[in-house]
Structure 1
């Protein structure tokens, strides 16, 4: 437990110097393999990962505790986990799986500390007559309702 606290302290000290970066996940395996996943308001560069790695590596006592370290950026395959991550993806299409396993896809429009708002675009039959009409509506989703949210990659 002391080893984890030491790594957390070193990482938090680094993040205090870089307010544009934030921690997504810190994993420490039973074999002391340390994995740090970072994200940033403007993305994460290779240099950002190197700087974080050095902040931990150069300040941890290897004689006291031997470990391996991997620092990486949160990729597109990683779920969005914090309001800060949602904010940086405003305007992008995201797919949200709710706690009841239903899935909603839409454009991320607004983000606050309690919920997100998606713009849903679809076609539905006209109320009167034949044919369909385009519909655009906002849908608010509380973070507590979200099981997983991913950015949709379109080519």
Structure 2
């Protein structure tokens, strides 16, 4: 079986001088290798093709057969690595807390162990008959977050 650590080392060496970063590597018992990469500017398909060829070049299918899939991180999928928070700074995200609460808003701060989002909410304001749009900031430590994903707006 091909070792996940070996694959990870190959990828890290290949992307070291680029704007790409590794999101996930998985290797099944049948040697189906899945690699997910990302970058702050997005990942063109050519980057996936080049990385796939580089990984394949390190192995001999005659010795050990394998299946390889290299893809970019999916839109609307939960973040898997901390660098993805930096990628979506000043963009809309949805945060699901470990307590089951959802917050949708603009990611305005990414710290070492916490994030802050700006949320627009309709709220009853004292002395007013109608609800008004109010902007609130919410901070979350990483251990308070169950998942975070980008929000696609058109």
Question: Secondary structure at the residue paired with 2:15?
Answer: helix
Taking the TM superposition and a 5 Å limit, the aligned residue runs for 1:56-71 are 56-71=55-70
In structure 1, the partner of 2:16 is 16
Question: Paired residue for 2:73?
Answer: 74
The offset of 1:2, in angstroms, is 5.8
SS in 2 for 1:17: coil
Q: By how many angstroms is 1:128 displaced?
A: 1.9
Q: Secondary structure at the match of 1:61?
A: coil
**Alignment of 1:97 onto 2:96:** yes
How far apart are 1:81 and its partner, in Å? 2.3
In 2: Cα distance, 1:105 partner to 1:148 partner: 12
Q: What are the superposed Cα offsets for residues 52-110 of structure 1, whole Å, 9 maximum, x if unpaired?
A: 11110012232332101000000113211233211111222111111111111111111
CA RMSD of aligned residues (A): 1.6
Q: Cα offset for 1:46?
A: 0.8
Equivalent residue number for residue 139 of structure 1: 138
TM-score normalised by L of structure 2: 0.91
Structure 1 runs (4+) greater than 4 angstroms displaced: none
Q: Deviations over 1:91-141 (max 9, x none)?
A: 221111111111111111111221111001112112124222321121111
1:6 maps to what in 2? Answer: 6
Q: Count matched residues.
A: 154
The answer to whether residue 24 in structure 2 is matched with residue 25 in structure 1 is: yes
User: Partner of 1:111 in structure 2?
Assistant: 110
Q: Is the 8 A contact 1:3 1:65 kept in 2?
A: no
Runs of 5+ consecutive residues of structure 2 not aligned to the other structure: none
Say if 1:42 and 1:119 are closer, same or farther in 2 by CA, change over 3 A. Answer: same
Give secondary structure in 1 for the equivalent of 2:4.
helix
Q: Distance in 2 between matches of 1:63 and 1:153?
A: 44
